[in-house]
């Protein structure tokens, strides 16, 4: 158990600020129990003791939250992000992203792979079970936390850490991206957000292209429990962005001149795929 934790700590030091904070959060629960685990390893194993089914994937969080070990999706949005320092593209920077949606259940999944660190991040949102799961993995070892799904404050891992953006303002611009009608919004980072205060990214401007009809990429959207639909509409009316249907294009400009551009390469529909939680270690 000590060796996997040391590997995660080593790779954590190489991560960008936003993703490193996520990995730290996911490791926090495991670190607190480290002493107990070391003691248990030195004690005789009780014949009634439950063995760990998958020691390379440790999931903590709220024990009252139920999650599935696999999900079926039939829509896939493939995206890439590129990072720039000024006008210079960062070689081996950015991420490869796949966003899975379902037409038969109110569930979606985001899988992000960092080219610079080799770290994988997965997020599962299941509106039927009202649960969410965040995973981070590197070198064949992953950990994560499950929690009750709450739209307020929900922040799936995504380039630019969109959770700290303020109200989105509709610009009126519209265009079709990969066959989907989208409209543009502009937003800025929230004041005094601890994730950007006193960093090089203290000022962020985001240009975000969001599908005009959420059903156009997430058919299972209509199957959500009614209270989620009402909350989403209220949040959109107030100008906030519930991260349920992800942007198809986004351009971020940071205060120090850094930029991140995320775009959709293609969308595949009606192709069923079963996604396992253990896929993060593949």
- pLDDT, residue 45, reads 45
pLDDT of residue 10: 42
What pLDDT tens digit does each residue of the chain (282 aa) get? 444 444 444 444 444 555 545 555 444 444 444 443 433 344 444 444 343 567 899 999 999 999 999 999 999 999 999 999 888 899 888 999 999 999 999 999 999 999 989 999 999 999 999 999 999 999 999 999 999 999 887 878 888 655 556 567 889 999 999 999 999 999 876 555 555 555 555 567 889 999 999 999 999 999 999 999 999 888 888 777 788 899 999 998 887 888 999 999 999 999 999 999 999 998
For 223-237, the DSSP string reads GS-HHHHHHHHHHHH
Distance (Å) of CA 239 to CA 134, 181, 234: 26, 20, 9
What was the pLDDT predicted at 50? 42
| 74, containing H or E segment | strand 70-85
Burial class (CB in 10 A: 0-12, 13-18, 19+), 165: buried
The two structure tokens encoding residue 260: 């991140």
Inter-residue contact 50 to 170 (CB < 8 Å): no
Euclidean distance between CA atoms 225 and 156, whole angstroms: 20
Q: To which H or E segment does residue 29 belong?
A: helix 17-32
Classify residue 78 by burial, with Cβ atoms within 10 Å: 0-12, 13-18, 19+: middle
Confirm if 253 and 86 have CB atoms less than 8 A apart.
Answer: no
The dihedral through the CA atoms of 230, 231, 236, 237 has a sign that is: positive
Q: What pLDDT shows up at residue 8?
A: 42
Distance CA 266, CA 133 (A): 26
- Compute the distance between CA of residue 200 and CA of residue 16 in angstroms, rounded to an integer: 12
**Number of CB atoms found within 10 A of residue 140's CB:** 12
The reported pLDDT for the residue numbered 98 is 97
**pLDDT for the residue 189:** 66
* Neighbour count for residue 109 (Cβ, 10 Å): 23
């Amino acid at each position: 158990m000590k060796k996997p934790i040391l590997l995660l700590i080593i790779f954590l030091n190489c991560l960008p600020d936003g993703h490193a904070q996520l990995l730290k959060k996911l490791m926090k629960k495991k670190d607190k129990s480290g002493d107990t685990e070391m003691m248990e390893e030195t004690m005789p194993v009780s014949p009634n003791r439950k063995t760990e089914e998958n020691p390379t994937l440790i999931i903590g969080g709220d024990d009252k939250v139920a999650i599935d070990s696999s999900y079926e999706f039939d829509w896939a949005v493939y995206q890439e992000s590129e990072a720039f320092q000024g006008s210079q593209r960062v070689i081996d920077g950015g991420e490869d992203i796949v966003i899975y949606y379902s037409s038969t259940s109110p569930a979606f999944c985001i899988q992000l792979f960092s080219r610079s660190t080799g770290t994988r991040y997965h997020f599962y949102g299941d509106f039927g079970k009202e649960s969410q799961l965040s995973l981070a993995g590197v070198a064949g070892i992953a950990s994560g936390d499950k929690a009750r799904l709450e739209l307020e404050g929900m922040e799936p891992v995504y380039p630019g850490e969109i959770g700290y953006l303020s109200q989105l303002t509709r610009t009126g611009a519209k265009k079709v991206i990969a066959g989907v009608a989208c409209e543009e919004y502009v937003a800025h980072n929230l004041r005094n957000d601890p994730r950007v205060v006193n960093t090089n990214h203290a000022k962020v401007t985001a240009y975000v292209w969001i599908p005009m009809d959420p059903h156009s990429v997430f058919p299972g959207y209509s199957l959500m429990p009614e209270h989620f639909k009402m909350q989403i509409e209220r949040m959109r009316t107030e100008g906030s962005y519930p991260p349920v249907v992800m942007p198809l294009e986004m351009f971020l400009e940071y205060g120090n001149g850094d930029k991140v551009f995320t775009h959709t390469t293609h969308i595949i529909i009606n192709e069923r795929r079963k996604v396992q939680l253990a896929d993060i270690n593949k």
